[in-house]
């Protein structure tokens, strides 16, 4: 379960970063 949560957090972080880059442009 712990690793699953970490992977989910990582995915959310990546998505957030992509959104940030998109807004930056």
Helices (H), 1-25: 2-24
pLDDT at 3: 75
Cα–Cα distance measured from residue 7 to residue 23, given in angstroms and rounded to the nearest whole number: 24
Is the model's pLDDT at 22 over the cut of 90? no
Length of the chain: 25
Is the model's pLDDT at 2 over the cut of 80? no
Cα–Cα distance measured from residue 24 to residue 8, given in angstroms and rounded to the nearest whole number: 24
Cα–Cα distance measured from residue 19 to residue 5, given in angstroms and rounded to the nearest whole number: 21
- The band of 24, judged by pLDDT with boundaries at 50, 70 and 90, is confident
What is this structure's pTM?
A: 0.54
Cα–Cα distance measured from residue 1 to residue 13, given in angstroms and rounded to the nearest whole number: 18
User: Which pLDDT tens digit goes with each residue over 7-19?
Assistant: 889 999 999 999 9
């Amino acid at each position: 379960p712990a690793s699953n949560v970490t992977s989910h957090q990582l995915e959310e972080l990546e998505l957030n970063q992509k959104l940030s880059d998109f807004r930056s442009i």
